[in-house]
Structure formats: structure tokens, C-alpha cells
Amino acid sequence: MKWEKLLSLKRYGDTETRHRKLQDETRLGFEVDYDRIIFSSEFRSLQDKTQVMPLPINLASKRNFVHTRLTHSLEVSVVGRSLGRMVGKELLEKYPQLHTELGYKFNDFGAIVAAAALAHDIGNPPFGHSGEKAIGNFFSNGKGLQYKELLTATEFQDLIDFEGNANGFRLLNASRQGIEGGLRLSYATLGAFVKYPKASLPKKPTQHISDKKYGYFQSEKAFFKELAAELGLPQKTEGEQPSYHRHPLVYLVEAADDICYTIIDFEDGINLGLIPEDFALEYMINLVKDRINSSKFRAMDSISDRLSYLRALAISTLIADVAKLFLANEEAILKGEFDGALLDKSQYKAQIKDIINLCVSKIYQSQEVVEKELAGYKIISNLLDSYSAAMMNSKAGNASNYDTLLVGTLPKHFANTNATSYEILLGVSSFVASLSDSAAVQLNNTLLGKHL
């Protein structure tokens, strides 16, 4: 892979090349990507989507804040920007022609990573990661199984393994009446967004981290192929559903996410009273013990101030470590020979593992989270059942009055009953995934007649 292609400013529908040297420095293309994402309705819905803990916040915790998908995404983008800038500065020294001949600056790397990081959760369903499983379960074991014979194997796999990353790619690029190419982000940002550059089948063709999940639905297959060609992403496998090597900046987006959810989920657990504060201090100190200013730390009377100090120190420590790891492995990454996550190679791997294990036992398996996931399964299944049946009955020409009313509540771009069965079922799934936690609960209550 070559950085000259990987930093492409091209957007959907462009007929002429966008040159970095000709960019308006007050309105840089990669920064436009960030703006378009943050002003999108899909991004705004993240303010009411669960990160880990369910909403509304448990008042018994005596705290007034836990992270949502939106605050998490904003924090990941900040960490990603720092990583991109640190790496970009070194890469421009290593490849000076990127600046002298093409006009790229180190901030460009930060802007690309920040934009991709901002969007990294934009396709995730309500109710946390259980939302993805709930959609998949509806088609694999629920009433959605009846539609299997109408789909190809890969189309059906898209549904039973519904993937928030692929849905995010769909949302960012979905064309609607009068809006071709969706948000029309730069290809560099889109490349940095796709953690898993492959289709849903074959599943896990290799042990490479980029094959762990998948990154695009069959509906976006043609566009993804164009994107990969423009960026110069090499194919890893051949065949009808090839997989590709990652855009190198994906590793920084992934690391920014890993850093934030490791440290911030831990902090949320403390704020909710699920992890004792004194116990938490010990775990955080183990991560940053070589960088603590002891006199400054001892001068803090409040445990919350101490935790804030340790959290900031932990994040900056991991940022520096990740940037160093990326640069040390940059040539292997460009060759497609680096097969793990950057934090998996971190010198702090043991300390990170301890924190994650504690989060699993104290937070992810807590009663609040389990109850949220159970409710999410029921709500998502009910919504999918109602809307799938209404749309498919309308397509077959035997819609009831109820079906017609229900289809009428869908946004127009989801209500095309002349589409293929795959497009209808994927569209319904994408619609349900786009709902915030509260909107999903409210819509489900409406279908159950609870508002009457």
C-alpha cells in the first residue's frame, strides 16, 4: 500500500482528482468529513443509545453521568486525532514527498482518524452490543427465519450476523432521493472507518484481526470494491467475496476505541458504584505507576479528583504507546503483514487485561446490563416482526389495513415495497438499528397499544 493513494480526497461521484495542494486550508476536505458526520441525524441519535449502562441512569448510584454512544464517540475522536497527528508528524519525515510534492500535513492524519473515529459507532443498534445479536437472532431463530429461502446465502448471512460496522458503512454512503452518495465523505476517511474489509461470507477466512467480523453488506459490495481500488487496498483472498487488507489508519481508530472503552467503561463502573473506588485506584495506579507525580497525587483530597488524574494519565500513556507501536510496525502494516490490534502488542497488555476482566465481572455482567439486554431482545424482535411482515405483505400485494398503516410510519427511504426481498429486510433491520433506546421503547409501546 502507498500513502499517496491511502490519503485520497476523492468523494462519491467525483469526476476529477482532488489535490491536497489545492485544498482550502480554512475548509480542509478531511475536516469537512468530521463536520458532516457530527451534523448528521444518525450521529445525533447516539446521544440516546446505550454504551454499556442502560438509560435512564440509575438514580440510586448518586451520580449524574454515564457514557452514551455519543459521548463515547466524541472521546474516541479526540484520542484518534492525537494518535493521527503524532503518527503523521513522523510519517512526513519518513516520506517527505507527501508534503513537499503533494502538500499533505501532519494534521491531515489526525483529521482522517478523528472523523473515522467519530463515526465508528454510528451504525450500532439500540441497547448496546446485544442489539446486534437481537437482530441476528430474529432471522436465525425467530420469525425472520421464514424469509431464508428468498435470499442468497450471503444476503441471509448479512441478516443473521447483523453487524453494526457494516450498517455504519451503509448509513454513511446510502443514497436517497436527491442525495447521492450519502454524506459523501472522503475515501481516506471511509477507508479508515472500515475495520473489517470483507463481506459476511466466508466467515473468518483467516485469523487476521481484519477477518474477525465483516464491514459491508451485499448492498454496498460494488461501492466497497470501488473504494478499495481507489485506496489501493490489496486483496487477501480471491473469489466472489474477496477480503482486503485494512487501511493502515484503521489500526489507530481501533486503538482509540480500545483505549476509551477500557478506561472509560471502568470509570463508569466506579461512578455507578459497581466497582469500589479504592479498588479502582489500585488498578489504575498499576497502569500508570511509572508516570505518576506523587506529590501532585497525594495533594488531592477527593477520590474523584484522583481518578480523573489517573484516567487522563492512563489515556495519554496509552496514546504514546500506541503511536510508538504503529510507527515501529508501519512497514509491516503497509505490506499487510501485521495481523493483530495495536493494544495487543502493548507493554501495558497485562494491566489492560486486568481492567477488562474486572469490567466484565462487575459491569458487563451486572443486573442492570443483563436486564437491559433482555428487554432489548424482546423490543427489537417485536419491531422487526411487525415491520418485516408489513413490508413483505405489501410487496406481495396482500397487505392488511394494519400493514399499510405501519408501512406509512417508516421514513420514505425505508418504505420501498418494490425493492427486492433482501433490500426490504435489510432496510427494516437498518431502520430498527437507527432507533435510539428511547425511540425503540416508545415505538414498541405504540405497537403494543400501551399509549392508548
Structurally, the chain folds into a number of domains equal to 2
**What per-residue confidence (pLDDT) applies to 219?**
96
Q: Which of 336, 364, 392 is the last residue of a domain?
A: 364
Instruction: Evaluate whether residue 243 is within a structural domain.
Output: no
**What per-residue confidence (pLDDT) applies to 58?**
41
Are 271 and 359 part of one and the same domain? yes
Instruction: Evaluate whether residue 405 is within a structural domain.
Output: yes
> What is the domain extent for residue 350?
250-364
**What per-residue confidence (pLDDT) applies to 267?**
83
Contact in structure between 338 and 329 (CB atoms under 8 Å): yes
What's the CATH number where 346 sits? 1.10.3410.10
**How far apart are alpha carbons 337 and 342 in whole angstroms?**
13
> Which regions in the chain score pLDDT beneath 70?
53-65, 451-452
**What per-residue confidence (pLDDT) applies to 451?**
63
Instruction: Evaluate whether residue 137 is within a structural domain.
Output: no
Residue tagged 479502582 (cell numbers):
280
Are 357 and 379 part of one and the same domain? no
Instruction: Evaluate whether residue 382 is within a structural domain.
Output: yes
Are 341 and 408 part of one and the same domain? no
Are 418 and 358 part of one and the same domain? no
Are 280 and 305 part of one and the same domain? yes
CA dihedral 365, 369, 373, 374 (to 10 degrees): 90
Contact in structure between 358 and 283 (CB atoms under 8 Å): yes
3-state secondary structure the chain: CCHHHHCCCCCCCCCCCCCHHHCCCCCCHHHHHHHHHHCCHHHHHHHHCECCCCCCCCHHHCCCCCCEHHHHHHHHHHHHHHHHHHHHHHHHHHCCHHHHCCCCCHHHHHHHHHHHHHCCCCCCCCCCCHHHHHHHHHHHCCHHHHHHHHCCHHHHHHHHCCCHHHHHHHHHHCCECCECCCCCCCHHHHHHHCCCCCCCCCCCCCCCHHHCCCCCCHHHHHHHHHHHHHHCCCECCCCCCCCECCCCCHHHHHHHHHHHHHHHHHHHHHHCCCCCHHHHHHHHHHHHCCCCCHHHHHCCCCHHHHHHHHHHHHHHHHHHHHHHHHHHCHHHHHCCCCCCCHHHHCCCHHHHHHHHHHHHHHHHCCHHHHHHHHHHHHHHHHHHHHHHHHHHHHHHCCCCHHHHHHHCCCCHHHCCCCCCHHHHHHHHHHHHHHCCHHHHHHHHHHHCCCCC
Residue 445 C-alpha from the chain's centroid? 28
Instruction: Evaluate whether residue 344 is within a structural domain.
Output: yes
Contact in structure between 300 and 309 (CB atoms under 8 Å): yes
Are 258 and 360 part of one and the same domain? yes
Are 359 and 401 part of one and the same domain? no
Are 323 and 388 part of one and the same domain? no
Instruction: Evaluate whether residue 150 is within a structural domain.
Output: no
Q: Which of 364, 381, 415 is the last residue of a domain?
A: 364
Q: In the numeric block, which cell numbers belong to residue 155?
A: 444476503
**What per-residue confidence (pLDDT) applies to 56?**
45
Q: Which of 364, 387, 412 is the last residue of a domain?
A: 364
Q: What pLDDT digit, counting tens, does each position of 408-450 carry? A: 999 999 999 999 999 999 999 999 999 999 999 999 999 998 8
Instruction: Evaluate whether residue 154 is within a structural domain.
Output: no
- Look up residue 11 and give its amino acid: R
Whether the upstream peptide bond of residue 56 has omega within 30° of 0, thus cis, is yes
Q: What pLDDT digit, counting tens, does each position of 289-304 carry? A: 888 988 888 898 887 8
Cβ atoms within 10 Å, residue 330: 18
Are 308 and 378 part of one and the same domain? no
Are 299 and 326 part of one and the same domain? yes
Are 265 and 344 part of one and the same domain? yes
Are 260 and 342 part of one and the same domain? yes
Q: What pLDDT digit, counting tens, does each position of 202-214 carry? A: 998 888 899 999 9
Instruction: Evaluate whether residue 434 is within a structural domain.
Output: yes
Q: At what angle do helices 69-94 and 303-328 cross, to 10 degrees?
A: 40
